[in-house]
Chains A and B, each alone.
Chain A
Amino acid sequence: MMNGIWEYWNIGILACWNMGVLGTGGAPHATQHSTIPSFHASVLPLWSSAWPAGLTMLGLALAFAIVLLVASERLKVHVDPQIEQIYGALPHVECGACGFPGCGQYAKAVHKDAQLLGRCAPGGSAVAARIATILNIQLSGSGAPVRPIVRCRSHTEDRTFYAAYLGIASCTAANALSNAQACKFGCLDFGDCVRACKFGALRIVAGLSTVNYRKCTGCGACAKACPRNLIAMVPFHHDPMMTVGCNSNENGKTTRAMCQVGCIGCGLCAKQSNAFTVENNLARLDYAKYEPSGQNEAACNKCPTGAIVYRGVGAPAPRPAKARPAASSAASAPSTS
């Protein structure tokens, strides 16, 4: 069968070609006359054997077209074009920071309930604004981007260890042991947060988990991963943000024995600036009240252990552990020497 059609096809082509060439060639009648019968003899069988194939396929296609038409009407799923637009506006990193399994689900949820707007941490206010435009609603004060702050500033050389920990290399495992390191509050440096981060924004620098704020999207996965609840999600009204780089509730003497850069709860910072409070032997900065002022600067400089540090994209390096507090409150920036 295949050979048959192929043969007819070839003859047909040849015939056409002959006619064309000879027809324009100039010696018309005699030659053309001889090709005409073979042209008829080849094209007609070709046609007669081709039409059932075409008809079969036409019938098949028609049948399926009808079935699919009926099905598409019966099984129609109404998808609001707004949901697709919202989905398109989302960053598609599927981090789950919004509390939904993925961007698709969040798009659906936010379309149903506009209260959920602004949950997308990687997208931040830009995405929230775009979704608000799609939903045709006004966005009120979208707020500063939320970023993690590790409330510990001690590196390995600042800490005290009773013994070498040789157990499972994870913070959760080390935290189950009461004395993996002397301090019960500080960074354990096994990198549970580093593994939790989908964006490669965290790494361990000399024993301290350090955030790369250029890569950070603020999804908060690290804060959930830390078994010591050391990572706080802070709205960065200002960048760099000031923070107390310690989470220890031990009294001053104990803290000093365990860590060279821990907060001893002396209260010097609270005397300089009302953004600081001391509770349970630990100074706390009210991030909402913080602004880059001379008072806060002075509090940072006066801190006897240098526990008050900057965090953020342009954060200056913290004062080294052994350095004395700056003598004057007029010092412009935390010492980098």
Chain B
Amino acid sequence: MDRFVALLMGFLSVVLVNNFVFTKFLGTCPYLGVSGRMDRAFGMGLAVTFVTALSGTLTWMVDAWVLTPLHLEITRYICYIVIIAGAVQLVEMYVRKFFPSLYEAFGIFLPLISTNCVILGICLFLDVWGTNSLLEAVVISTGTGIGFTVAICIMAAIREELALADVPEALQGAPITLITAGLLTLAFMGFAGMIK
């Protein structure tokens, strides 16, 4: 039971309290770039969730079972990047095969998931946070992706409303988007300290 609670807390922590977009400012590129429409934002969120879950888990396994026993922690970055790039390639092929319209909507942002800092971020943070079981790694890396999805979907919903709002001319487009992002971050700062 304690273990379950710990996992749940870890999950909530990365979704709300330590949300990568809001508190670590990682992954802001797709967060601002693909959040114009809800459906695309949700698709992007799911794709990122899949990649974070897959690469977070794989990197934890490689790190814990191969790199640490062999004292090869120095090669972490290279190994992680290989794993992330492979996972993104896999996602790209899958989306292209089964969701062609989504594939066209994403355009360049789909292969760019491989350079999304959220993903390398979670792989490295798993080690920083001292994640010591596979289950924990799976839960936390999935939670990171879901946190990203939450962030990008909130942003997309606000921006859909913004498109109909009477925004002053000087603030139209990127400025109002950035202001919105800042306010959202402030709102999510309210969760800070709730879960250690």
Contact of B72 among A52, A68, A104 (CB under 8 A): A52
Check if B96 sits within 8 Å of A61, measured CB to CB: no
A278 to B61, CA, bound (A): 84
* Assembled-state Cα–Cα distance A64/B72 (Å): 19
Q: Which chain B residues in 144-160 approach chain A with CB under 8 Å?
A: none
B 9-67 contacts with A by CB, 8 A: 62, 66-67
B157 CB, min distance to chain A CBs, angstroms: 23
Check if B93 sits within 8 Å of A1, measured CB to CB. no
| B74 contacts partner chain A, Cβ-Cβ < 8 Å | yes
Please, how many angstroms separate the alpha-carbon atoms of A5 and B72 in the complex?
11
The A67-86 residues at the B interface (CB cut-off 8 A) are: 67-68, 71-72, 75-77
- Check if B78 is an interface residue, CB within 8 A of chain A: yes
At the interface, is chain B mostly helix, strand, loop or mixed?
helix
B90:A68 contact, CB within 8 angstroms: yes
List residues 60-91 of chain B with CB under 8 A from any CB of chain A.
62, 66-67, 70-75, 78-79, 82-83, 86, 89-90
- Mark out the residues of chain A between 13 and 36 whose CB falls within 8 Å of any chain B CB in the assembled complex: none
Distance of A232 from chain B, by nearest CB (Å): 32
**A1 and B82 contact, CB distance less than 8 A:** no
Q: How far is the CB of B160 from chain A (nearest CB, A)?
A: 19
- Chain A CB within 8 A of B127 CB: no
A77 surroundings in chain B (CB, below 8 A)? 96-97, 100
Chain B residue contacts of A163, Cβ below 8 A: none
**In the assembly, what is the distance between CA of A167 and CA of B100, in Å?**
45
Contact of B93 among A52, A72, A104 (CB under 8 A): A72
Across the interface, do A60 and B82 meet the contact criterion of CB distance under 8 Å?
A: yes
Encoded as 1 (CB less than 8 Å from any B CB) or 0, chain A from 75 to 100 comes to 11100000000000000000000000
Partner of A1, one of B62, B71, B94: B71
Which B residues are CB-close (under 8 A) to A104? 104
User: What is the interface residue range for chain A against chain B?
Assistant: 10 to 19
CB-CB nearest in chain A for B74:
A2
How many residues on the B side are at the interface (Cβ–Cβ under 8 A)? Answer: 22
Residue of B nearest to A1 (CB): B71
Contact of A48 with B by CB under 8 A: no
Which chain B positions have C-beta within 8 A of A75?
93-94, 96-97
Task: With A60-B82, A64-B86 as known contacts, state yes or no: A53 contacts B75, CB within 8 Å.
Answer: yes
- A1 near B86 with CB under 8 A, answer no
User: Can you name the residue of chain B whose Cβ is closest to the Cβ of A72?
Assistant: B93
Tell me if A67 and B86 are in contact (CB < 8 A): yes
Q: Is A56 an interface residue (CB 8 A)?
A: yes
Q: Which residues of B contact A64 (CB under 8 A)?
A: 82-83, 86
**Residue on A nearest B93 in the bound complex, by CB:** A75
Q: Once the chains are docked, how many angstroms separate the CA of A61 from the CA of B96?
A: 23
State whether A68 and B86 are in contact (beta carbons under 8 Å apart), knowing that A75-B93, A75-B97 are contacts in the complex: yes
B67 to chain A, nearest CB (A): 7
**Nearest chain A CB to B84's CB is how many angstroms away?**
10
In the assembled complex, which residues on chain A have CB atoms less than 8 Å from the CB atom of B100? 77
What are the residues of chain B within 8 A of A205 when measuring CB–CB? none
**Cβ 8 A contact of B90, one of A57, A61, A67:** A67
Complex contacts, A60 vs chain B, CB 8 Å: 62, 79, 82-83
13 A–B pairs (Cβ distance < 8 Å), ordered by A: A53-B72, A56-B75, A56-B79, A57-B75, A57-B78, A60-B62, A64-B83, A68-B86, A71-B90, A72-B93, A75-B97, A76-B97, A77-B97
By Cβ-Cβ distance, the 3 closest A-B pairs, closest first, are A64-B86, A75-B93, A75-B97
